[in-house]
Amino acid sequence: MAIVLGPNRYGKAETRLVRVSRDGDTHALVDLNVSVALSGDLAATHLTGDNSGVLPTDTMKNTVYAFAKEHGVGEPEAFALLLGRHFVATQEQVHTAKISIESFAWDRLGPHSFQKRGDHTRTTVVTVTADAVQVVSGVTGLVLLNSTDSEFHGFVEDRFTTLPPATDRILATAVDARWRHLGDDTDWGKSFTGALDALVRAFVGTYSYSLQQTLYAMGNEVLTARPEIAEVRLALPNKHHYLVDLSRFDLANDNEVFIAGDRPYGLIEGTVTRDDAPPALAEWWL
DSSP 8-state secondary structure symbol assigned to residue 168? S
DSSP 8-state secondary structure symbol assigned to residue 163? P
Host H or E run for residue 191: helix 188-205
Check 61, 120, 181, 240 and give the catalytic one: 240
Exposed/middle/buried for residue 163 (C-beta within 10 Å: 0-12, 13-18, 19+): exposed
> Mutual orientation of helices 57-71 and 76-90 as an angle, nearest 10°?
130
Query: Catalytic: 12?
Result: yes
One-letter amino acid at 270 equals: G
Contact 36, 60 (CB under 8 A): yes
One-letter amino acid at 9 equals: R
Contact 122, 128 (CB under 8 A): no
Q: How far apart are CA 57 and CA 8, in angstroms?
A: 15
Query: Catalytic: 120?
Result: no
Check 12, 61, 181, 239 and give the catalytic one: 12
Q: Which of 89, 95, 80 is nearest to 36 (CA)?
A: 80
Q: Which of 106, 145, 137, 104 is nearest to 121 (CA)?
A: 104
Check 45, 57, 121, 140 and give the catalytic one: 57
Q: Which of 264, 265, 193, 268 is nearest to 228 (CA)?
A: 193
Q: How far apart are CA 48 and CA 43, in angstroms?
A: 8
Q: How far apart are CA 74 and CA 77, in angstroms?
A: 9
- In the Cβ-directed half-sphere of 144, how many Cα atoms lie within 13 Å? 23
One-letter amino acid at 154 equals: G
Catalytic residues: 12, 57, 240
